[in-house]
Amino acid sequence: MSSMSRARVARRIAAGAAYGGGGVGLVGAAAVGLVLAEVRMARTAVGNGNSGGRVPVADGRYGDAYGTGEPPLRLVMLGDSTAAGQGVHRAAQTPGALLASGLAAVAERPVEFVNVALPGAQSDDLDRQVALVLGSASPPPDVCVIMIGANDVTRRMPPTRSVRHLSAAVRRLRTAGAEVVVGTCPDLGTIEPVRQPLRWLARRASRQLAAAQTIGAVEQGGRTVSLGDLLGPEFAANPRELFGPDNYHPSAEGYATAAMAVLPTVCAALGLWPADEERPDVTRREGFLPVARAAAEAAAEAGTEVTAAMPTGPRGPWALLKRRRRHQVETSGLPTDAASAEARSRAGTSE
C-alpha cells in the first residue's frame, strides 16, 4: 500500500474516532480472522519462557547521583505488556527503566518513575490508567509515554474506537500539564510464528492503526514515535536476538532498541534536546507535511517521530516529521526500591 493510500485510510479512521464512527475496518473481516488465529497461536507460548510471565517492578527514583537540589522529573509509562516490560528478567531491562535512566543522564537530574501499564491491556483501559496517574496526590507527571495497540488488532477492537480512547487519554494528560509521547502499534508482521501471506496482512493492519494513532495523538498535542518492527531492520533480520523467550514480546535487546528510539523524543518534549536538532534535516528526509501523510510515512519506518507543527494548511493540520539519531541509553542503576522489588520477583528463579 502506498503512503498516500495509508494516509487516506488513517485519515478516515481518525475522522471516525473524532466523530463517533465505528465501522471503518483495517482489512477484510475474513483476513482479520486468519491473522488473529495465527497471532493467537504465536502467543500461546507467552509466559512459558524464561521470564515465567512475570513483569519486573521498575518503579522508583533514578539518577540520585545527580543530586541537583531540583525536584525529580516525573515519568509515567502507560499501555500494555510492551510498556510494562513483559518478557525480560530484570527491572533494569524494561523500557521504563531504560527511559528513566536515560532521561536522568540527559537532564542530569533525578527521575521519579511510575509504571501503570497492564499486560493484555487494550486502548479502552487507558481511561483507567490515566485516572490512576491523575488521581494520585502527587503533582501531574512531567512526561508520559504510552505504548498500546497490538491487543486492539489481535482482539478486533474497531480502529476508530481504539483511536478514540487513545486521543482521549492524550487530551486528558495534556490538559493536566504533562507532555505525552506515544509509541504507536508495533508491527505484528514481525512475530516469528506468523506465516505468509498472513504476515503481510498483520503488517498492513498494524501500520494502518499506527498511522491513525499518530493523527489522533498529534491532534491532541502529543508526539508519536513509530515502534514498527521495534525499531530497525535488525529486528526482522535477527528475530531470535530481539524477541524474548516467548517469541512474542521483545527481548532485553529489543526493549533497549525501542528505548533508544523513544528517548530523544521524550527529551525533546521536555526541552532537553539540542536546539540544532529540532530543525528539520533534509539529509534525513525530515520536514513539514500534512499530518495524515506524516503519519503514514512514520508508520512505514520505525523510529520516526511526528509532532504538531503549523495549526492548519490547505490540506488540513500539518506536522513535523523527524528521523532522530538514536543515542545509546545510559543507565544509572536501579533505584533502591526497584532493586528490592526485583530481588523479590526473582526469588527462586534461575537464569
User: CB count, 10 Å around CB of 128?
Assistant: 13
Quick check: 115 and 100 in contact, CB under 8 A? no
Identity of the amino acid at 303: G
- Catalytic residue selected from 206, 249, 251, 332: 249
* CA angle (216, 219, 222) in 5-degree steps: 85
Is 167 catalytic? The answer is no
Q: How many CA atoms lie within 13 A of 257 on its CB side?
A: 23
Distance CA 252, CA 246 (A): 12
Task: Please answer whether residues 206 and 8 qualify as being in contact, where contact means their C-beta atoms are separated by less than 8 angstroms.
Answer: no
Active-site choice (125, 152, 187, 246)? 246
Question: Could you tell me the CA-to-CA distances from 9 to 124, 274, 293, 298 in Å, in that order?
Answer: 22, 35, 10, 14
Assigned C-alpha cell, 76: 509515567
List the grid coordinates of 257: 532498541
Return the DSSP state at 249: S
Q: How many degrees, rounded to 5, is the angle at CA 173 between CA 101 and CA 170?
A: 100
In one letter, which amino acid is 135?
G
Given 81, 162, 167, 251, the catalytic residue: 81
Q: Is 81 a catalytic residue?
A: yes
Measured distance CA(179)–CA(105) in Å, rounded? 19
- Nearest in space to 97 (alpha carbons), one of 46, 150, 56, 141: 56
Handedness of CA 125, 182, 104, 334 (dihedral sign): positive
- What is the CA angle 219-222-224, rounded to 5? 100
- Cell 528521523 belongs to 323
Identify whether 249 is a catalytic site residue.
yes
Q: Taking the CA of residue 122 as centre, how many other CA atoms within 13 Å lie in the half-sphere pointing to its CB?
A: 15
Q: Which cell numbers hold the place of 4?
A: 498516500
Which uninterrupted H or E stretch holds 145? Answer: strand 143-147
Catalytic residues: 81, 246, 249
